[in-house]
Chain A
Amino acid sequence: MGGVPATATARRARPARDPRPRGVTLGRVVASEADKLTSLRSTGWLALATVAAAAATAWGLGMFARPEPGASGAPIAVAGAVLSQLGFLVLGARTGADEYRSGTARSTFAAVPRRLPVLAGQALVTAAAAPVVAVTALGAAVAATAGLRAAAGLALDVTDPETARLLAGFVLHQTGVALVGLGLGALVRRPDAALVAGVLALVVLDHLLATNPGRVADTARALLPGAGARVLLDDGRLDALAAGSLGPHPGPWSGYLVLAAWAAALLAAAAYRLRRGDVT
């Protein structure tokens, strides 16, 4: 019984001695969001599946590449991007939406009543985790296609600007896709709905519009987030795409800007909903 007052005194006394600031800081929110992401076992499995998908697709598609000595091996190394972007989409969508489904969003927003730092923390953690997975996936894909490149006489010269663009583009594109997933997840607050919307916007609509070309379809295609994949196309295919398109033909980096703009717009919409709406 006598211990209770002593503890209370000690507790009351501590802030005076402790120089650290109390309360919610962005750094602490980021740390807690990083904890949430890395402490889930499913995150590790997701990263592993993403890396495996990137490497296996690159290897499988590399078998179809026509041997053309002197050509760059980069298009084959990044060929797994279409499949593995799904992993990044899931990563972002889960980071943004899982807490609403499990109900832990209540504790999170009780701890961070200003709310927006949570979304900022999730964006920072996603923007940090996605490149790590992407670089690993790219390394695995490069290693998996090493034998194919040697057999076909394809060079992988990082000092070649086109090769450098494709390899850097892989990491940037997958990070952009993860942020689009985060924006969708935080906006609709359901991971499954965010996933379906993301796949529709990134893959299905793009494919559907590509098979029904026309001025409207080509314009829409250049403005969908799928335009970001242009950063992964080599110059020959970009020229072929531009030659067959009746709409605007953004270059690789303007295409990537379209993807980045989608991510920014979705995150802004999610922030607006978080700021103005209820969190239940």
Chain B
Amino acid sequence: MTATTAASRRARPTAHRPADAGGPTLPRVVAAQWTALTSLRSSWWAAALTVVVSGVLTHLSAQASSVDPGFDPLGSLTSGVVLSQVPPLVLGVLVGTGDFSTGAFRTTYVAVPRRWPVLVAQTVATAAFALLTAVAAVAAAVLALLPSARSRDIALDLGRDGTPQTLVGMTLLLTAIALLGLAIGALVRRSVPALTAAVLLVLVLPVVLLLATDLSTDPLAPATGGVPPAVAVVNTVVAFLPSGAGALLTADVVVEGAPDLGPWGGGLVLAAWIALPLAAAALRLRTRDVV
């Protein structure tokens, strides 16, 4: 019995299957990571939270400003983006650290001994999941503008100058933040330190740097012309942080004192924030033990 099974198993590759069908090909690893991502309840919670937060905050902001005389509903479009990037960030960190915090990485890397396809597949799966979430979140933000726009009889014109860029930029920003979380998570491998680093970089540092401008300017002094050098330094640093670069993606704003990167420059800065930790994670995966 046993001998027959063993013999047939040994015979199978040459007899019935093409030679390369048995290994962990990249599409198969991607499929495995997609299953790993979508079979966790926390992923769907993160996706739902992103959409809900985006819709509710945009709705509240548009409602609050709809009483202004010069109300422009599209002006409130990005008001939910600061908070709705938190669930994708957490999702990315959890995808990057999940294998290591549960011990499932042993199985994963036995199945894929070359290791790097796992990281590539996690990136692809997270990007796809986050992109779908981001599209839904941006759609929710647009829908949330409708009640307040209708109350003032203003038609929403999404083709107007700058709006397509804002819509695409918001979608890309939410996707990129998830990938940033993944990159930090894959590099650090432990969820609490990785989450601390990600939260610090994306959410807390911009607020701390705002304090710097606060300290350098007198809150009660009248505004004078020109940009103080301290403000210029702070704004330059902020523009090169993930959140500042992401803000450049969503709107064509000129931040005083900061180099004018434009949406493409902002996108490149954000891409570098993803690529560098991801490359470091790949290097760690390739040259060090998986523990």
Contact A64 B199 (CB under 8 A): no
What 0/1 pattern do residues 170 to 201 of B give for CB contact below 8 A with A?
A: 00000000000000000000011001100110
* B89 to A, closest residue via Cβ: A196
* Residues of chain A lying within 8 A (CB to CB) of residue B208: 57, 61, 82-83
Q: Does B27 contact A (CB under 8 A)?
A: no
Closest residue of chain A to B217, judged by CB?
A: A66
Whether A203 and B207, one on each chain, are in contact in the complex, defined by CB atoms closer than 8 angstroms, is yes
Q: B195 and A212: CB pair below 8 A? A: no
Minimum CB–CB distance for A209 against chain B, Å: 11
Q: Chain B contacts of A164 at CB under 8 A?
A: none
For B212, the chain A residues whose CB sits under 8 A away are 60-61, 64
Chain B residue numbers with a CB within 8 Å of A64 are 212-213, 215-216, 230, 233-234
Residue of A nearest to B42 (CB): A193
CA distance A79 to B217 in the complex (A): 15
Q: Does A237 contact B (CB under 8 A)?
A: yes
Cα of A86 to Cα of B203 in the assembled complex, Å: 11
- Chain B interface SS verdict (over half): helix
B143 part of interface (Cβ distance < 8 Å)? no
* Chain B positions 216 through 230: 1 when the CB is less than 8 Å from some CB of chain A, otherwise 0: 111110000000001
Q: Which residue of B lies closest to A191 (CB)?
A: B192
CA of A237 to CA of B215, assembled, Å: 10
Contact of A199 among B199, B211, B219, B233 (CB under 8 A): B199
A111 to chain B, nearest CB (A): 25
CB distance from B223 to the nearest CB of A (A): 14
* Residues of A contacting B218 in the complex (Cβ-Cβ under 8 angstroms): 66
Q: B220 contacts A240, CB within 8 Å?
A: yes
Chain A residues 144 to 189 lying within 8 A of chain B, measured CB to CB, are: none
- Contact across chains for B196 and A90 when beta carbons are under 8 A apart: yes
Q: Tell whether, in the assembled complex, residue A82 and residue B213 are in contact, meaning their CB atoms are under 8 Å apart.
A: no
A208 & B215 in contact (Cβ 8 Å cutoff) = no
Known: A90-B196, A195-B195, A204-B86. A61 touches B203 (CB 8 A): no
Any A CB within 8 A of the CB of B64: yes
Q: Given the known inter-chain contacts A64-B230, A65-B216, please indicate yes or no for A203 contacting B192, CB distance below 8 A.
A: no
One of A94, A204, A237 near B83 (C-beta < 8 A): A204
Q: Is A99 at the interface (CB under 8 A from chain B)? A: no
Contacts of B211 in A (CB 8 A): 61, 79, 82
- Residues of A with C-beta under 8 A to B61: 212
Q: What chain B residues lie within 8 Å of A204 (beta carbons)?
A: 82-83, 86, 203, 207
Are B86 and A200 touching (Cβ within 8 A)? Answer: yes
Bound form: Cα–Cα A236–B218 in Å: 9
* Contacting pair B219 A192 (CB below 8 A): no
* Cβ of A76 under 8 Å from chain B: yes
Interface check A44, CB cutoff 8 A = no
Partner of B204, one of A86, A205, A208, A240: A86
B90 in contact (CB, < 8 A): yes
Main secondary structure of the interface of A (DSSP, over half): helix
CB contact between B219 and one of A60, A79, A86, A240 (< 8 Å): that residue: A240
User: Does chain A have a CB within 8 A of B108?
Assistant: no
Min CB distance A129 to B, Å, is 17
B62-77 near A? 1/0 per residue, CB < 8 Å: 0010000000000000
Q: Is B236 an interface residue (CB 8 A)?
A: no
Q: Which residues of B contact A236 (CB under 8 A)?
A: 219-220
Given contacts A61-B212, A64-B213, contact A86 B79 (CB under 8 A): no
Interchain nearest-CB distance for B15 vs A (Å): 47
Q: Identify the closest chain A residue to B233 (Cβ).
A: A64
> Is the pair B219, A237 in contact by a Cβ cutoff of 8 Å?
yes
Most buried by B among A61, A76, A237: A61
Residues of B within 8 A of A83 (CB): 200, 204-205, 208
Enumerate chain A residues within 8 angstroms of B191, measured Cβ to Cβ: 191-192
Give Cα distance in the complex from A199 to B82, angstroms. 13
A73 to chain B, nearest CB (A): 12
Q: Are A208 and B83 in contact (CB under 8 A)?
A: yes
Query: Is A214 positioned at the interface, with any CB of B under 8 Å from its CB?
Result: yes
Beta-carbon contact of B203 and A192 below 8 Å? no
> CA separation between A179 and B205, bound complex, in Å?
23
Q: Roughly how many angstroms separate A207 CA and B210 CA in the complex, as a whole number?
A: 10
Additional A-B contacts beyond A64-B213, A240-B220 (9; CB < 8 A): A66-B216, A66-B218, A82-B207, A82-B211, A93-B192, A192-B191, A196-B195, A205-B83, A207-B210
Task: Name 20 A/B residue pairs within 8 A (Cβ), A-sorted.
Answer: A60-B212, A61-B208, A61-B212, A64-B213, A64-B216, A82-B211, A83-B208, A90-B196, A191-B192, A192-B93, A192-B195, A195-B195, A195-B199, A196-B86, A199-B199, A199-B204, A200-B86, A212-B61, A237-B214, A237-B219
Spell out B's residues near A (CB within 8 Å).
61, 64, 79, 82-83, 86, 90, 93-94, 191-192, 195-196, 199-200, 203-205, 207-208, 210-220, 230, 233-234
7 nearest A-B pairs in the assembled complex, by CB-CB distance: A240-B219, A64-B216, A64-B230, A64-B212, A192-B191, A191-B192, A199-B199
